[in-house]
């Protein structure tokens, strides 16, 4: 359990995926370039490749991301956020996607 004050520290933001690349020599990792309506796009590394055999299907999607995590290097690639997704033990998977009318850069309240 965390306190409500701790929860309020988490910044959840709509981002639009601009490009996707598979990270070589990995089965799960994709490198996403994401527009959060900031000066430049952010690089996010996410372990969702198994759910997207054609990773280009992600380009143009708006999804929810945690945007105030400390950067983390994953397999030599810096990640500047975390993609929100859900999965079940039986293999069902879904990205958390906002309504299409919500612009990138919008913060969850």
What is the pTM for the complete model shown? 0.94
Residue 109 clears pLDDT 90, i.e. is over it: no
Residue 89 CB-half CA count within 13 A: 0
Ordered by start, the domain boundaries in the chain are 4-95
Looking at per-residue pLDDT, the higher value among 11 and 91 belongs to: 11
**Cβ(96)–Cβ(85) below 8 Å:** yes
Torsion of Cα atoms, 27 then 53 then 86 then 43, to 10°:
70
pLDDT on residue 11: 97
Of 26, 14, 40, 37, nearest to 99 by C-alpha is: 14
pLDDT digits (tens, 9 = 90+) for 28-85: 999 999 999 999 999 999 999 999 999 999 999 999 999 999 999 999 999 999 999 9
Segment 3-18 mean pLDDT = 96
Q: Which CATH architecture has domain 4-95?
A: Beta Barrel (2.40)
């Amino acid at each position: 359990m965390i306190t409500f004050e701790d929860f309020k520290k988490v910044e959840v933001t709509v981002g639009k995926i601009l490009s996707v690349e598979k990270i070589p020599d990995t089965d799960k990792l994709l490198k996403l370039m994401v527009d959060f309506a900031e000066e430049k796009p952010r690089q996010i590394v996410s372990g969702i490749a198994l759910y997207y055999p054609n990773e280009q299907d992600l380009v143009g999607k708006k999804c929810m991301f945690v945007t105030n995590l400390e950067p983390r290097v994953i397999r030599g690639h810096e990640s500047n956020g975390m993609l929100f997704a859900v999965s079940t033990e039986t293999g069902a998977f879904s990205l958390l996607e906002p309504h299409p009318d919500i612009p990138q850069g919008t913060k969850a309240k």
